[in-house]
Amino acid sequence: MSRKTVLVTGASAGIGAASARLLAANGYDVAIGYNSDRAGAEAVAADVEAAGGKALLLKADVGNPAEIEQMFNTLTATFPRLDALVNNAGIVAPQATVAEMEAERLTQIFQVNVIGAFLVARNAVRLMSTDSGGAGGAIVNISSVAARLASPNLYVDYAASKAAIDTLTQGLSIEVATQGIRVNAIRPGIIETDIHAKGGEPERAARMVPMIPMRRTGSAQEVAEAVLWLLSDAASYVTGSIMDVSGGR
């Protein structure tokens, strides 16, 4: 049986890296999207190949539309088709209140987390859609429980950008439901990744444990398991859904 092809953006660390590795172990060739962490991306590529998959490194800043176009051009020159997308790349800025946020910060957050995610999804749909000669496929967008909790005094901008991902998921899923494409999202909760350090509080995950009903943080692997299921034929009647992987939070 031939391997499927998946594009994972933001795949050099965290949830993206865990998803890339797990998908490779379950029959996928993996296009590894990354921006600055070349070493992390190469480590993921080595693991993909060790699992029997083909790995393709794709350097692109998803905040730059021209780089997204180049990423897809390279992808289509290497792989005969695209079967799945894990739309994961995203950024967070240091903690701040809305009153403290400058336009430059907001522009960067929304350029990457919203516009970039839209454009990546758009290009994937163009390749997958049965209306344009594609074979269909599945998309998983990575949102956050911040989309419904709003993250006051931390990063309302990030939370708002993820709320946009939820809306993208639901709207796009309806648009492409007759084109052989399923679109779902995952809202991770407090997961042990370096995003907390990027937000200015490396110990946030540990500090938040008492507020999580399961009284523990999650792992990137646990999120990746949900990604794998949503992309699989086991989820063939699931589209437009947003799955919380959050320990009950």
Q: What is the CATH number of the domain that holds 57?
A: 3.40.50.720
- Residue 161's H or E segment, with its range, is helix 156-175
Residues 43-99 have pLDDT tens digits of: 999 999 999 999 999 999 999 999 999 999 999 999 999 999 999 999 999 999 999
Task: Determine the structural domain holding residue 41 and report its residue range.
Answer: 4-245
pLDDT tier at 140 (50, 70, 90 boundaries)? very high
Mean pLDDT of 8-14: 97
Q: How many domains does the chain have?
A: 1
Angle at 70 between CA 65 and CA 71, to 5 degrees: 95
C-beta atoms surrounding 70 within 10 Å: 14
Residue whose token pair is 């000669």: 133
Confidence of residue 39 (pLDDT cuts 50, 70, 90): very high
Selecting among 28, 34, 155, 158, the annotated active-site residue is: 158
Q: Is the pLDDT of residue 185 over 90?
A: yes
Contact present, 32 and 55 (Cβ < 8 Å):
yes
pLDDT band at 151 (very low <50, low <70, confident <90, very high): very high
User: Catalytic: 158?
Assistant: yes
Report the alpha-carbon distance of residue 4 to residue 1 in Å, rounded: 9
> In the predicted model, what is the mean pLDDT of the chain?
95
DSSP annotation of 218: B
| Mean pLDDT value across residues 26-47 | 98
The DSSP-derived string for 189-217 is -SBSSTHHHHTT-TTHHHHHGGGSTTSS-
Q: What pLDDT, on the 0 to 100 scale, is given for residue 200?
A: 63
pLDDT tens across 186-215, in order? 999 999 877 656 666 677 778 889 999 999
Rounded distance between C-alpha atoms, residue 73 and residue 210, angstroms: 46
180: which 2 tokens?
Answer: 């052989």
Q: Give the model's pLDDT for residue 40.
A: 97
